[in-house]
């Protein structure tokens, strides 16, 4: 099971369990809450009617008094009240009055008139000056038939209890309100779970996106690239990303040193072997012409060693990304400067160089590194262009990028070498000179990577080779 789905499931289960307990508590409180509120209103009603009943009892006109007349008139026409979409057409209260001994002397329903209610809690407690209330089922087997009874004392002018007035209401009449409240809570619970699911899905999407960034970063590192550290949206993930970056740098440093030492050792073997061989011959005191030839050979190999060391230091600097001072750089100016520096060599070899460079265009980069990279590309073209040949340099703006093409009229590149020429120490024989250090194009590739650009080498349609260097243009 994927970690994102596990997180979503765990989050949803926590919310669902919490929602269940909260909703269960609310639902369980709805019914007693409604009944408590109803009981409070019944207490007020009973005490109010008890005051009116005291006047009817004092006037000895209870059967024709104010309460009796009110109950007679109230149900003659529908009430027509609409309470929160619940229609109420008749009064649901039943009222009965007892004397001081608990005998029913008035019943709005007429069913208990003359009966002894002195043992019912509502009457028994009220006649003794206490709060009297009860809840009784009309059918002992059916909870829905329960009726709530609340009584109030009827007192004479001297404060003596002369009877009780009970207001009753079937609990069933409260069910529409209870069911409606429960239904609303269930709907709210469903909405809560839905919102929790959406929030959980968003959280999982955010986690998966962050993890995917780190996975892509690690994959690019594994492929040998130097990707930009992804920006994370939380301190914890940022710490993890920095830890990965630190691990990458340390691993790259170790791997780089191992490769550096190995390749440098390999490249130094050839000139050192030549120097050693020449020295051994010179120890035998050969004739002067032979000695001069081997002395010249030692000097050449020494120059080769010096060039190799210088190039390796340049390569190490650019690959380790140190001393980078990125600033706006005019590429057209850099290209003209490189061409001017090679003018003497171009003229000496009678090479025809043409350049077509667009108006000044700015990129953000290191001017010195770019000059060295373009100089290496032009040196590479000069190495493979025969005397009297042609070299063309063009620079043009294309879709937020600046493309530089250095094309020569040399023999072109063998197919097997096209994907190897940017490897460190890989070099092809030059027509008129020995192999180079094999670090020039590798240096160019590192400079392109630093500037988030690309470099590739292809064969021209009419012969020769083309180096295509593309850099993103600095947005204004």
Domain extent listing, the chain: 3-180, 229-320, 327-472
Average of per-residue pLDDT values in the chain: 78
Give the pLDDT of residue 263. Answer: 55
Q: Which CATH class is domain 327-472?
A: alpha beta
Q: What is the pLDDT of residue 129?
A: 92
333 or 259: which carries more pLDDT confidence?
A: 333
Is residue 115 predicted with pLDDT exceeding 90? yes
CB 313 within 8 A of CB 444: no
For the cut 80, the answer to whether the pLDDT of residue 257 exceeds it is no
With a cut of 70, say whether residue 455 has pLDDT above it.
yes
For residue 16, what are its two tokens? 């669902």
pLDDT band at 322; cut points 50, 70, 90: very low
Helix (H, G, I), strand (E, B) or coil at 55: helix
pLDDT tens per residue across span 279-291: 888 888 888 887 8
Asked if residue 426 lies in contact with residue 418, where contact means CB atoms within 8 angstroms, the answer is no
CATH class of 229-320: mainly alpha
**400-445 residue pLDDT tens:** 888 889 998 888 888 887 777 777 667 776 666 555 666 677 778 8
Instruction: Please check the confidence at residue 374 and state whether its pLDDT lies above 80.
Output: yes
CA angle in degrees (0–180, nearest 5) for 297-299-305: 105
- b/e 45-65 (16+ beta carbons within 10 angstroms → b): bbbebbeebbebbeeeebeeb
Give 328 or 118, the one with higher predicted confidence. Answer: 118
Q: Around 452, how many Cα atoms within 13 Å sit in the side-chain half-sphere? A: 11
Residue 323 has pLDDT above 60, yes or no: no
Residue 54 near residue 156, CB atoms below 8 Å: yes
- Classify the C-alpha dihedral 302-303-306-312 as positive or negative: negative
pLDDT tens profile 33-81:
777 888 888 999 999 999 888 888 888 888 788 888 888 777 666 665 5
| Average pLDDT rounded to a whole number, residues 319-330 | 64
Whether 163 has a pLDDT exceeding 80, the answer reads yes
User: What is the pLDDT, as a whole number, of residue 38?
Assistant: 84
Question: Given a cut of 80, is residue 470 above it in pLDDT?
Answer: yes
Please tell me the CATH superfamily of domain 3-180, with its number: PAS domain (3.30.450.20)
pLDDT given for residue 78 in this prediction: 64
What is the bridge-based pairing of β-strands 352-357 and 401-408? unpaired
């Amino acid at each position: 099971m994927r970690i994102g789905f596990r997180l979503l499931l765990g989050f949803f289960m926590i919310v669902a369990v919490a929602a269940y307990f909260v909703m269960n508590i609310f639902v369980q409180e709805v019914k007693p809450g409604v009944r408590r509120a109803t009981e409070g209103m019944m207490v007020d009603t009973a005490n109010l009617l008890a005051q009116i009943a005291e006047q009817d009892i004092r006037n000895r006109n209870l059967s024709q008094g104010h309460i009796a007349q009110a109950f007679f008139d109230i149900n003659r026409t529908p009430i027509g009240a609409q309470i929160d979409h619940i229609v109420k057409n008749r009064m649901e209260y039943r009222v009965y009055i007892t004397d001081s001994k608990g005998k029913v002397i008035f019943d709005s329903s007429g069913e208990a008139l003359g009966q002894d209610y002195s043992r019912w809690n509502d009457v028994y407690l009220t006649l003794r000056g206490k709060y009297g209330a009860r809840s009784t089922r009309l059918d002992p087997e059916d909870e829905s038939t329960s009726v709530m009874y609340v009584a109030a004392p009827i007192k004479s002018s001297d404060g003596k209890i002369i009877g009780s007035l009970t207001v009753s209401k079937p609990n069933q009449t409260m069910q529409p309100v209870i069911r409606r409240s429960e239904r609303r809570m269930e709907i709210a619970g469903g909405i809560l779970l839905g919102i929790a699911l959406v929030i959980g899905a968003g959280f999982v999407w955010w986690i998966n996106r962050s993890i995917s960034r780190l996975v892509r970063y690690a994959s690019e590192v594994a492929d040998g690239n130097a990707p930009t550290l992804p920006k994370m949206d939380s301190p914890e993930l940022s710490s993890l990303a920095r830890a990965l970056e630190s691990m990458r740098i340390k691993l790259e440093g170790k791997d780089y040193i191992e490769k550096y030492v190995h390749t440098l050792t390999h490249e130094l073997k050839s000139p050192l072997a030549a120097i050693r061989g020449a020295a051994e011959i010179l120890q035998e005191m050969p004739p002067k012409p032979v000695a001069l030839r081997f002395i010249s050979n030692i000097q050449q190999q020494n120059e080769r060693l010096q060039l190799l060391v210088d190039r390796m230091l340049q390569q190490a600097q650019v690959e380790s990304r140190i001393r980078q001072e990125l600033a706006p750089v005019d590429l057209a100016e850099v290209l003209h400067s490189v061409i001017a520096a090679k003018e003497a060599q171009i003229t000496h070899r009678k090479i025809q160089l043409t350049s077509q460079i667009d108006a000044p265009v700015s990129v953000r980069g290191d001017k010195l590194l770019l000059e060295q990279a373009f100089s290496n590309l032009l040196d590479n073209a000069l190495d493979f262009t025969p005397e009297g040949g042609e070299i063309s340099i063009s620079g043009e703006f294309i879709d937020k990028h600046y493309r530089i093409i250095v094309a020569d009229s040399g023999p072109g590149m063998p197919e097997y070498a096209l994907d190897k020429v940017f490897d460190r120490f890989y070099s092809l024989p030059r027509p008129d000179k020995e192999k180079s250090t094999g670090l020039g194009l590798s240096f160019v590739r590192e400079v392109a990577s630093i500037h988030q650009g690309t470099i590739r080498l292809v064969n021209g349609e009419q012969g020769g080779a083309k180096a295509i260097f593309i850099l993103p243009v600095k947005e204004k």
